Amino acid sequence: MSDLSDHPLLQGLEFGKEIYSIEIHGNGRGEYVGITREDDSPCRIVFRGSLVTENGRKLIRARGSQAWTKQQGEKEGQ
């Protein structure tokens, strides 16, 4: 795979230490769900979206919601 920092969306950005992990899963009908985890943090971002074609290119257009591990959320709510 080529260097992703060459992608036009990433021009002008500087990169630091990798601290996020993401998993994206499809259901075979063009719909996707993914979760991003930050190392050593209870915070998660959950993405839901669809595969779309824009300007002849396929991409996943998704919106993210904040989420927490259930155990952490219960502690904060007490």
Rounded to the nearest 5°, which phi and psi values hold at 56?
80, 5
Query: Considering the domain boundaries, does residue 3 fall inside one?
Result: no
Other beta carbons within 10 Å of 72 = 13
Query: Considering the domain boundaries, does residue 7 fall inside one?
Result: no
Query: Considering the domain boundaries, does residue 12 fall inside one?
Result: no
Query: Considering the domain boundaries, does residue 11 fall inside one?
Result: no
Query: Considering the domain boundaries, does residue 38 fall inside one?
Result: yes
65's CB contacts (< 8 A; 6+ apart) are: 45, 46, 48
Query: Considering the domain boundaries, does residue 53 fall inside one?
Result: yes
Question: Residue 1 above 80 pLDDT?
Answer: no
Query: Considering the domain boundaries, does residue 69 fall inside one?
Result: yes
Question: Residue 78 above 50 pLDDT?
Answer: no
Contact 48, 33 (CB under 8 A): yes
- What would the two tokens of residue 30 be? 């063009």
Q: pLDDT for 22-59, tens place per residue? A: 999 999 999 999 999 999 988 899 999 999 999 999 99
Range of the domain at 48: 17-76
Mean pLDDT, the chain, integer: 86
Q: How high is the pLDDT of residue 74?
A: 53
Query: Considering the domain boundaries, does residue 9 fall inside one?
Result: no
How many domains is the chain partitioned into structurally? Answer: 1
Which of residues 21 and 6 earns the better pLDDT score?
21
Q: How high is the pLDDT of residue 2?
A: 54
